[in-house]
Amino acid sequence: MTANKPFFTAIIPTYNRWPVVKDAIDSILKQTFDDFELIIVDDGSTDETAQRLKGMHCNLRLIIQKNAGVSASRNAGIRKANGKWIAFLDSDDIWLPKKLESQNSYILSNPDTMILHCDEIWQRNGTRVNPKMRHRKAGSGAESRDSAFCRSLEMCLISPSTVVIKKDVFNKVGLFDEELPVCEDYDLWLRIMVHFAIHYLDQKLGVKKNSENPSHAASQLSASIKCQDIFRVDSLEKLTNNPSLPEDWVNMVLNEIVRKTEILTKGCIKRGRAKEAKEWRDKAIFALATLKGKR
């Protein structure tokens, strides 16, 4: 790391993930690019995580806080970061050795970049799996900003463990929404897309692990909350109030709200939850009325 501000700050949020988080830390310490600082945010772990981290004697800064969720953990790391660029790594994922080196080279060759993500290898219980076409990454080069935004409304197409973000971006769009228990990354990427082009490096530079081990899955909120579209709708409704959102993008968002709320309505009817079904139907009707009013 240079004597001045490091190029990257790597942030790992963790909660009851020892010894998995050690693999994540080791993958950062093995990077071929060394101009970075490492911040671990222990989100109130009740296992041996904090004690083990204190005893690692490696070049890391440890933040210990009361349990407040992954968004609060990442935000705590961002606030303490000295780096020009922020890089996230989930505690059950790993980076391949040239991850930061490759992204640094891309940024230096493309100085207009404000956010950059890359491809990754997917594993399930240690076995490699192939993502479906609908999961293909969004970003520059292969498609327009309109297309990338439209596809990103359906689902999250950027993995936190692959992304690096210029720290100045957070001054423009804000931090992770700590009110969202899941889909907080989906919410942030859409807010960033309103202002900045998403750059994409078509290289597999990390490994996204998806373990069905109960001791790991229990701490994965995204795995424990089945209907994530509930929170995506919350995010989309907020997005429609963004004054910087282009008019045609407003229409895209409203159409996606209609699509998601109609699915949620049918699900509630099927399960006999009439009150909830009406609430989702009302949201769909409001979004449709707003769309008609714009025509």
Chain segment 42-52, per-residue pLDDT in tens? 999 999 899 99
Please state the rounded mean pLDDT for residues 145-159. Answer: 93
Phi-psi region of 69 (alpha: psi -120 to 50; beta: other; left: phi over 0): left
- Report for 6-10, 156-160, 225-229: range of highest mean pLDDT: 6-10
Give strand pairing partners of 50.
none
Q: In this structure, how many other beta carbons lie within 10 angstroms of the beta carbon of residue 261?
A: 25
- Give the chain's length: 295
CB under 8 Å to 245, separation ≥6 — which residues? 194, 239, 253
Measured CA distances, 32 to 9, 96, 110, 141, 204 (Å): 15, 10, 20, 26, 15
- Does residue 206 carry a pLDDT above 50? yes
- Does residue 129 carry a pLDDT above 90? no
> What was the pLDDT predicted at 137?
81
Q: In this structure, how many other beta carbons lie within 10 angstroms of the beta carbon of residue 291?
A: 15
> What was the pLDDT predicted at 130?
85
> Where in the chain are the domains?
8-222, 229-294
> What was the pLDDT predicted at 136?
79
- Cβ pair 62, 50 in contact under 8 A: yes
Residue 219: pLDDT band by 50, 70, 90 thresholds? very low
Give the torsion sign (CA, 14, 18, 22, 23). Answer: negative
pLDDT, tens only, 162-197:
999 999 999 999 999 999 999 999 999 999 999 999
Q: In this structure, how many other beta carbons lie within 10 angstroms of the beta carbon of residue 212?
A: 9
pLDDT, tens only, 263-273:
999 999 999 99
| CA-wise closest residue to 161 among 23, 5, 293, 256 | 23
Mean pLDDT of the chain: 91
Residue 294: pLDDT band by 50, 70, 90 thresholds? low
- Does residue 218 carry a pLDDT above 50? no
Q: In this structure, how many other beta carbons lie within 10 angstroms of the beta carbon of residue 284?
A: 19
* Cα–Cα distance for residue pair 125/212, rounded to 1 Å: 6
- Does residue 224 carry a pLDDT above 50? no
Where are the alpha helices (H) located in 99-246, listed in sequence order? 99-109, 145-154, 168-173, 184-195, 214-217, 221-224, 229-239
* Cα–Cα distance for residue pair 116/162, rounded to 1 Å: 8
Give the distance from CA 281 to its chain's centroid: 29
> What was the pLDDT predicted at 211?
58
For residue 6, the one-letter residue type is P
Give the CATH number of domain 8-222. Answer: 3.90.550.10
